[in-house]
Amino acid sequence: MAKYNTLLYYCYSTIADAEQFAADHLKFCKSLDLAGRIIVANEGLNGTVSGSPEACRAYMDALHADPRFANIDFKVDEVDVPSFVKMHVRYKSEIVHSGLRDPHIINPEKQTGKHLEANEFLAMKDADDVVILDVRSNYEHNLGKFKNAITLDIENFRDFPSKINELSQYKDKKIITYCTGGIKCEKASALLLHEGFSDVYQLHGGIIKYGKDAGGEDFDGKCYVFDNRLSVEVNSVNPVVISTCFNCGKTTPKMINCANPECNEHFTQCDECGEKMDGCCSDACKEHPRKRVYDGTGYYVKIPQPVNASKKTKALSE
């Protein structure tokens, strides 16, 4: 039996007084001795939490008992150690930052692409009239992506709307969007529909659920995750490594954050270069006076420094 579980989930569901909900939810998570990161907004929840199997089960049961969150599809990973060291619950304007805040234009509760289960995705993905669209950031799809997927040059999901025009050539195709757990696709597919793409789908549960349900077939490389694991294996059917070391170009699946906190770049680096560069992306970062101690993992706990935040929001970052 797994010593710990890690839960990945999201839910678009209106939360009244979401800022107060966030404060209360932080206390609840701490009462279960969970660690993780949860974003709360008026539009819903986006979270990854980790703890004992019993605590995770109690957490899932509690959310499913709330009518607002009854349909949450939790992705559960068994892990040897917790995937976080602290518990954070933060109130924000969106549960995934997109800049698409007008509910009259984008509202995942009312309209998104058609959800495809793993077997449906497998049946469709290689057809001539289908385009598979990765809506994640560069550092994510550089580490791993579906074979033949279209990727976009974006640093953050909020850049996605500005790239819509680059996809106009595919308006007569079936578009299948995918991301890590499905949350970005809810807004990406809704925006595509708003912009005149008529046949839009999304991979339900994202890469993580697809790996569990279909063995990750034809997903090349590893999947970036937003916790101290940094990446996870997805494909147990026909796995390959596609990422290369930022410094030397050698094939490597290892993703790290630069040891210089003022850079904190996400990049792939082989162990040999990791030792040579002390976990940094460049010589300048290696010599930086604030460089963190590299322990071989390339994961660092962030120290939140809220700016112009309310007292309640500051309390949520403890």
Nearest-angstrom CA–CA distance, 144 and 231: 10
Q: Give the number of other Cβ atoms within 10 Å of residue 159's Cβ.
A: 15
Given the residues 179, 185, 258, 270, select the one marked as catalytic.
179
- Greatest pairwise CA separation for the chain in angstroms: 54
| Block residue for tokens 């290696």 | 286
CB burial of residue 232 (10 Å; 0-12, 13-18, 19+): buried
Structure tokens at 11: 């839910």
Contact 229, 79 (CB under 8 A): yes
179 is catalytic: yes
H or E, element range at 78: strand 75-79
Per DSSP, the three-state class of 289 is coil
Nearest-angstrom CA–CA distance, 84 and 55: 14
Nearest-angstrom CA–CA distance, 189 and 83: 30
- Residues annotated as catalytic (active site), given as ranges: 179
